[in-house]
A and B are shown apart, each in its own frame.
Chain A
Amino acid sequence: MQRVFNWGWIILLSTIVFTSYSQVLPSDSLRPFGSNLKAYSWDKNPSLSILSKDDQKEDAVVIKEVRILDFEQNNNQLLLNYTLHKRVRVSNEKAIAEFSRVYIPISNIQGEIDLSVRTIQANGKVILLDKSKIKELKNVEEAGDFTIFAFEGVEPGCEVEYLLKYTKPATVVGREMLQTEYKKLNSMIYVEIPETFFFQPVFYNCNYSFYRKEIEFKNCFFTGSLSVPKLKEETMAYYTSHLARFDYSIKSKYASKDMSWKEMSKTVMNRLLPAYNSKIEKLSKSLGIFEKTGTADKIQAIENYIKNNIALTGNVAEESVSSILKNKFASESGLIQLYMAFFKHAEIDYQLVYTTDRTRSNFDGEHPSWFFLEQTLFYFPSTKHYLSPTSIYLRYPMFPTSWALNQGLFINVIQKKKTPKDQIVMEERLDTIAPLSYDYNFSKLDIKTSFDLEKESVRLELMESFGGEPAIYYQPYFGLVEESKQKEIINSILKKPSEEGTPEKGEVLGYDRNISPAIKPFDVKGILNSTQLLQRAGGKFIFNIGDVIGPQSEWYADTMKRVLPITPRYGHFYIRSISIEIPEGYQVKNLEKLIMDVNMAYKDDPKSCYFSSKYVLEGSKLKIRVEEYYKLPEYPASTYEAFRKVINAAADFNKITLLLEKK
């Protein structure tokens, strides 16, 4: 067995030179682990690694990581013999808490896992973990089976190491994450696959690649030694989708079909396309779907029925549209079939859209892969809107914001109610999933303010209208909770200007749980009496006008250089109209504080994000209008400073105080 550790030093030294993603390949290394991959093993006499001063200061550093994907043909099955060898230096309590417990997903494993675990203490002593201490967890909620263990003898400055080997059936697609929030000094990936198979890797978020060679009827791939920088999470950013990784797909040389979007579309639709179903026909009639005139009305009636009556559950054995109607529960794919059956009967033109969740990965149209068929939407060309079948709390036209601004596979289905399955025409294409425009997402706040100087109190008459995304915190749940809880929700909204205030006459106007707040905003009105917003200062009064708009986020603290795009997730805006009745005999000083104008230009819009505040004084009435806009769901990292200024402008407004003094 070849000892990789020999030229580990050379790799280590050379990686110190590179500051970012770097890849080093020693010249004689195209079979770096020898020909018998199953025999890979770790250093029998390990010693503590020597780290640079900088690396010693890190909470944790991955000293070494080796992953071997050894594909082997066994009769008619392709198996994956997977080896993972990892060694981490932990330097403080936080790192110990993070690394001392390991959870390894092991669903579908064939045979036993081979797992060796040890700790190399700061004084060089090696503590091997007894295999009886390795446990298993079965069928953990949504996540499958796990093998778990805890390292023994861990203290700051030690290294924890494990070597894992298992075999499982190879899958058509696979993914290996390369980057985490901890630096990796030496990460290697080696793949071997019989030459009768194509192994097609695609790297994302880095400039790594595989060195390839054909050796003894095998295709071999090696990354060489990768020095992977850490990537930290940032505020208002998608994280996992920005981590360096590679996805791969496997195809037999003898497969007739190429993996293409067309083939994948055919495969899914063969499973999902519904036939004519008399139960659906009867139910649709009874729900009055056929009587509705507009497409949107029909869609909403169907969605209303399904989301109110059919529970979404895990896998269901032997599922069909008829069984779903009977049981009133369905798996995810069952639910999709149900919608498709309803659309068929109502003769609604739709497109089935597959995409990804952008927090985890972006849809890559250039590389057809089952990975990208992760989330499902329905698109209606006549209304240009989407419906998310599995989002229990979102209604048409709203859908999860992290799926938008993404490409997707659109499969257009052309059929009539009675078209038999084999005659249904399908067309697929790639297109961008447009997010809902920022006009749909807002909070409009109207406040009438009056003072009782004697009592040093302020009375606010509030009316707040939440449209689209800002309403999601309240609207979907409001109708599902008890009256006492509803009151709590209303009061929490009324109390935003002042937490200690006393709310009264709070109510929600015209509420309908079954209509999306993108169509019908969630409107709350009421009164708040506060003694905190007005304070006596000698013979004058200080009014905390800034608090009236509610607490604002702030990005004041100086952060490190921004790396990731800024992702508010959806374009939105806020309008605050404040009118203040100035008490008789009083005037307001320092009104100039109310004039604010902070703009961020982006592309051809000089005000892509902005915060503005202006006032008008009409006799004893002071009218203030505050506008805050973020029109796009995402901005590049280069706009960070300008974007921050707009966010902080709102927070600055919070600080404004007005002085009331006798004329």
Chain B
Amino acid sequence: MQKSFYLFFTLLSLAAAKAQLNPLDSLRKLYPDKKAVYLKQEVTLRYVFKNDSLRLLTDHHFDKCIMNENASLYSEKSVYHSGLIKLNTLAGKTIVSQGKKEKVYKNIETEVKDALEPGIFYDDLKTTKIQFPNVVPGARMVLDYQSEYLEPTMFPPVMLAAEYPILESTYTVIVPAGVAIDYSLLGISEKELRFQKTNSAKETTYQWKCSRMKDYEYYSNGPNPKKYIPQLVILLREYSAKNIRKTIKPGTKGLYEWCYSFSSKAKQNETNLLKPLVDSLTASAQNEKQKSKNIFYWVQDNIRYLAFEDGYGGYIPRHAEDIYRKKYGDCKDMANLITTMHQLAGLKAYLVWIGTREIPYSLQQVPLPCAFNHMISVVNLGNEWIYLDATGKYTHFGFPTDMIQGKETLISISKDSSLTLQVPIIEADRNVNRHQLQLSIQDNFLIGQGKRSITGLPKANFLASYHFTQTSDQNTFWSNNLRYGNNKCETSQYKLLNPDYKEEEMAVEFSIKLPDYILKVNDETFVNMNLRKDYYDSKIEDPNRTVPLEFELKSTSIQQFNLRIPAGYSISYMPEKASFEHPDFSFSIWYEKKNNEIIYNKKITLNTLEIKPSQFAEWNAMISALNKAYKESITLKK
């Protein structure tokens, strides 16, 4: 399957202008708080014809000035390359100003390494690690390298901002006669860039220049920065030379042709093994939906995820029977297996190209292969389209995995026909996290029984971590996930119900004992019934933050704790109802007295996948209101 290549934001620029002053002092004045600044960053793209195919050469130049006192910490750089993205040339040097003179150190040390990425067993990604010499405060690290894309359409949008500010940047695209491109800008308007287009008989040159580009902000609880970093998108339209002529249709049509050229290579060869299997799985099925379920669950049970890709292998799904035999595959292999098995059962199933939520592009904005990093299957039952992503091992039939919610799909119907639909976002009322406790007071303890149940997407994630825990660590697992009141909470006698994908809800029943939690003074007993203080620390601290807060899924959290009033006691204080209403997030906490029990109820609803900066004030207001309610205790008096 296609993956997102990490092209570092090491866009380079040609170091044309030499600083007149000591660059360090003037830079420190401009950027008092930054540890490094790119003086220049330049990317030049050039389409060339090589052996009857079109290639894209990209020349990168960057000139980075290190301002940090401990400059030697910054003296390393890495450049990525692979089977389809070759590294042609690389040269680097360090320039140190000494008064009016400059000393140049050209002796960089380079080392080529195989890159190991988390989640991928094997691919052909390599890095060339570069050690720059003599990096002292004020030194400039200058790097020039050229990459060659064997598949020009694989070139992703150009990042116009980086992790440090950029003083001057230039982006050039040189298009020879016979090649035509389109371009667009994301997150920045053309007037913020100085654009120039020049034509000659041989070629057309497009150029964008920018000064004083700000560095981008990054938050670990925000979306992928590509969602808001300004970018330049280059779209190849057509190219023709002596022996080749190719037109790339605009939008998803052209993209689909490219994708199909790979997925079509995955035609099944034999069905000797699969056909009997599919028959046995569907024999007892009452209807089409049941057939599809049985097939999907079989794949979830029997095929494991393992990413093994290199070169074009990264794009061509392997033969279905192969995956069946090996019992493992990556996302495209599993998608192909599911699709093939469905088709053998006479169901309308298709391969689907998709990007996870990590990839912020719409197919409209970026109709390029880099918009996709995942592949799934889809089955069309009547009017319903049900997405089948077997990489979610414990996902209930009908649910997508959380990482593809809301994303556009490119469904492969046939050679000439594709369909674009959108994966639904699962609503909060289907992703429910429920806690129930029946408690009584015994001496200074709260004791009783409990039940925790989870439905929907959080259920799949919970089971994945449960099954990943070693048998001997399972008690620790429950202790961490069934924590009420304080960390002295003891739970035991666990009974797990529905521990797999087959039901929409899983549950665990348990016994609970909570010491050192209630406060007894003379004839009064104080019990804070907010035994789970969710979101208490979720306030957004930074008033200047412009990056949204992102969630993996919408959710509803429901808690009901019943406390039996001890004999001889009565309730002398019961807190008022507390609540906060907003279409995207809300809560309510209320108490009831019923017979000889006091019942605590809490409901928190998250109805959005993103809290935008314009909503921060209201979000913080809800967190404050929640914390205020969390302080309340009930008072029991003899």
- Partner-B contacts on A (CB < 8 A): 57-59, 92-94, 96-97, 100-101, 127, 135, 137-141, 148, 150, 152-155, 232, 308-311, 313-314, 316, 326-329, 392, 456, 479-484, 491, 499-500, 513, 531-532, 534-538, 542, 554, 556-557, 589-590, 651-652, 654-655, 657, 659
7 contacts between A and B (CB under 8 A): A96-B304, A139-B112, A313-B131, A328-B135, A329-B75, A542-B633, A554-B488
Which residues of the partner chain A approach B207 to less than 8 Å between Cβ atoms? none
A329 touching B476 in the complex, CB below 8 Å, given contacts A139-B111, A537-B526, A655-B517: no
> Is B327 among interface residues, defined by CB-CB distance under 8 A?
yes
List 10 tightest A-B contacts by C-beta distance, closest first. A535-B631, A499-B537, A311-B72, A152-B326, A327-B133, A137-B114, A655-B516, A538-B573, A328-B134, A139-B113
A154 touches B133 (CB 8 A): no
Tell me the residues in window 98-151 of chain B with beta carbons closer than 8 Å to chain A beta carbons.
Answer: 105, 107, 109, 111-114, 116, 121-122, 131, 133-136
Q: How far is the CA of A494 from the CA of B479 in the complex (A)?
A: 29
A328 to chain B: closest residue by CB: B134
A135 touches B122 (CB 8 A): yes
A532 touches B633 (CB 8 A): no
> Is B585 among interface residues, defined by CB-CB distance under 8 A?
no
User: Nearest chain B CB to A196's CB is how many angstroms away?
Assistant: 39
A557 touching B521 in the complex, CB below 8 Å, given contacts A93-B467, A308-B70, A491-B541: no
A556 touches B488 (CB 8 A): yes
Which residues of the partner chain B approach A499 to less than 8 Å between Cβ atoms? 536-537
Number of B interface residues at 8 Å Cβ cutoff, please give it.
70
B572 touches A531 (CB 8 A): no
User: C-beta contact mask, B372-407 vs A, less than 8 Å → 1, else 0?
Assistant: 000000000000000000000000000000000000
User: Nearest chain A CB to B51's CB is how many angstroms away?
Assistant: 27
Tell me the residues in window 288-329 of chain B with beta carbons closer than 8 Å to chain A beta carbons.
Answer: 302, 304, 306, 308, 325-328
Question: Tally of A-B residue pairs with Cβ under 8 A?
Answer: 176
Q: How far is the CA of A150 from the CA of B305 in the complex (A)?
A: 11
Tell me the residues in window 585-638 of chain B with beta carbons closer than 8 Å to chain A beta carbons.
Answer: 623-624, 627-628, 630-633, 635
User: Nearest chain B CB to A327's CB is how many angstroms away?
Assistant: 4
Which residues of the partner chain A approach B246 to less than 8 Å between Cβ atoms? none
A537 touches B131 (CB 8 A): no
A542 touching B133 in the complex, CB below 8 Å, given contacts A148-B121, A153-B325, A655-B486: no
Q: How far is the CA of A153 from the CA of B328 in the complex (A)?
A: 7
Q: How far is the CA of A611 from the CA of B438 in the complex (A)?
A: 35
Q: How far is the CA of A314 from the CA of B539 in the complex (A)?
A: 43
> Is B69 among interface residues, defined by CB-CB distance under 8 A?
yes
A139 touches B114 (CB 8 A): yes
A538 touches B572 (CB 8 A): yes
Q: How far is the CA of A482 from the CA of B33 in the complex (A)?
A: 6
User: Nearest chain B CB to A82's CB is how many angstroms away?
Assistant: 23
13 new A-B contacts at CB < 8 Å, known A311-B131, A479-B69, A654-B486 = A58-B471, A101-B121, A138-B114, A141-B113, A308-B70, A309-B136, A311-B135, A480-B69, A480-B73, A500-B536, A531-B628, A534-B631, A659-B519
Most interface-central of A150, A500, A659 (chain B CB within 10 A) = A500
> Is B442 among interface residues, defined by CB-CB distance under 8 A?
no
User: C-beta contact mask, B475-488 vs A, less than 8 Å → 1, else 0?
Assistant: 11001000000111
Which residues of the partner chain A approach B308 to less than 8 Å between Cβ atoms? 135, 150
Which residues of the partner chain B approach A556 to less than 8 Å between Cβ atoms? 487-488, 490
Q: How far is the CA of A308 from the CA of B302 in the complex (A)?
A: 55
- Partner-A contacts on B (CB < 8 A): 33-35, 68-70, 72-73, 75-76, 105, 107, 109, 111-114, 116, 121-122, 131, 133-136, 302, 304, 306, 308, 325-328, 467-472, 475-476, 479, 486-488, 490, 516-517, 519, 521-522, 524, 526, 528, 536-537, 539, 541-542, 572-573, 623-624, 627-628, 630-633, 635
Q: How far is the CA of A58 from the CA of B633 in the complex (A)?
A: 46
A329 touches B306 (CB 8 A): no
A135 to chain B: closest residue by CB: B122
Which residues of the partner chain A approach B70 to less than 8 Å between Cβ atoms? 308, 479-480, 513
Q: How far is the CA of A110 from the CA of B514 in the complex (A)?
A: 63
Which residues of the partner chain A approach B121 to less than 8 Å between Cβ atoms? 101, 148, 150
B109 touches A313 (CB 8 A): yes
Q: How far is the CA of A647 from the CA of B71 in the complex (A)?
A: 41
Which residues of the partner chain B approach A141 to less than 8 Å between Cβ atoms? 113, 116
A652 touches B516 (CB 8 A): yes
Q: How far is the CA of A392 from the CA of B70 in the complex (A)?
A: 11
A316 touching B109 in the complex, CB below 8 Å, given contacts A542-B526, A557-B475: yes
A140 touching B113 in the complex, CB below 8 Å, given contacts A94-B467, A542-B526: yes
B34 to chain A: closest residue by CB: A482
Which residues of the partner chain A approach B519 to less than 8 Å between Cβ atoms? 542, 590, 657, 659
User: Nearest chain B CB to A195's CB is how many angstroms away?
Assistant: 41
B35 touches A590 (CB 8 A): no
B131 touches A538 (CB 8 A): no
A329 touching B72 in the complex, CB below 8 Å, given contacts A93-B468, A535-B528, A538-B573: yes
A482 to chain B: closest residue by CB: B33
A100 touching B134 in the complex, CB below 8 Å, given contacts A329-B75, A483-B33, A500-B537: no
B72 to chain A: closest residue by CB: A311
Q: How far is the CA of A660 from the CA of B352 in the complex (A)?
A: 64
Which residues of the partner chain B approach A483 to less than 8 Å between Cβ atoms? 33
User: Nearest chain B CB to A158's CB is how many angstroms away?
Assistant: 9
Which residues of the partner chain B approach A152 to less than 8 Å between Cβ atoms? 325-328
Partner of A538, one of B122, B306, B635: B635
Which residues of the partner chain B approach A531 to less than 8 Å between Cβ atoms? 624, 627-628, 631
A59 touches B471 (CB 8 A): yes
Which residues of the partner chain B approach A532 to less than 8 Å between Cβ atoms? 536, 627, 630-631
User: Nearest chain B CB to A539's CB is how many angstroms away?
Assistant: 9
Partner of B539, one of A150, A484, A500: A500
Most interface-central of A139, A310, A316 (chain B CB within 10 A) = A139
Partner of B631, one of A100, A313, A456: A456
User: Nearest chain A CB to B312's CB is how many angstroms away?
Assistant: 16
B122 to chain A: closest residue by CB: A135
Q: How far is the CA of A480 from the CA of B72 in the complex (A)?
A: 12
B35 touches A480 (CB 8 A): yes
Q: How far is the CA of A100 from the CA of B306 in the complex (A)?
A: 9
Q: How far is the CA of A531 from the CA of B476 in the complex (A)?
A: 32
Which residues of the partner chain A approach B472 to less than 8 Å between Cβ atoms? 59, 232
B306 touches A150 (CB 8 A): yes
A230 to chain B: closest residue by CB: B472
Most interface-central of B34, B133, B630 (chain A CB within 10 A) = B133
Which residues of the partner chain A approach B522 to less than 8 Å between Cβ atoms? 589
Q: How far is the CA of A7 from the CA of B84 in the complex (A)?
A: 53
Which residues of the partner chain A approach B471 to less than 8 Å between Cβ atoms? 57-59, 92, 94
Q: How far is the CA of A214 from the CA of B309 in the complex (A)?
A: 50
A94 touches B486 (CB 8 A): no
Which residues of the partner chain B approach A651 to less than 8 Å between Cβ atoms? 487-488
A154 touching B572 in the complex, CB below 8 Å, given contacts A329-B131, A532-B631, A542-B526: no
Which residues of the partner chain A approach B133 to less than 8 Å between Cβ atoms? 326-329
Q: How far is the CA of A312 from the CA of B326 in the complex (A)?
A: 44
Which residues of the partner chain A approach B105 to less than 8 Å between Cβ atoms? 326-327
B627 touches A557 (CB 8 A): no
A101 touches B306 (CB 8 A): yes
A100 touches B328 (CB 8 A): yes
Q: How far is the CA of A581 from the CA of B634 in the complex (A)?
A: 26
Which residues of the partner chain A approach B73 to less than 8 Å between Cβ atoms? 311, 392, 480
Q: How far is the CA of A235 from the CA of B308 in the complex (A)?
A: 35
B630 to chain A: closest residue by CB: A532
Q: How far is the CA of A309 from the CA of B304 in the complex (A)?
A: 49
A539 to chain B: closest residue by CB: B573
Q: How far is the CA of A152 from the CA of B486 in the complex (A)?
A: 46
Q: How far is the CA of A657 from the CA of B485 in the complex (A)?
A: 14
Q: How far is the CA of A288 from the CA of B329 in the complex (A)?
A: 64
Which residues of the partner chain A approach B488 to less than 8 Å between Cβ atoms? 554, 556, 651-652, 655
Q: How far is the CA of A328 from the CA of B70 in the complex (A)?
A: 12
B75 to chain A: closest residue by CB: A311
Q: How far is the CA of A497 from the CA of B341 in the complex (A)?
A: 57
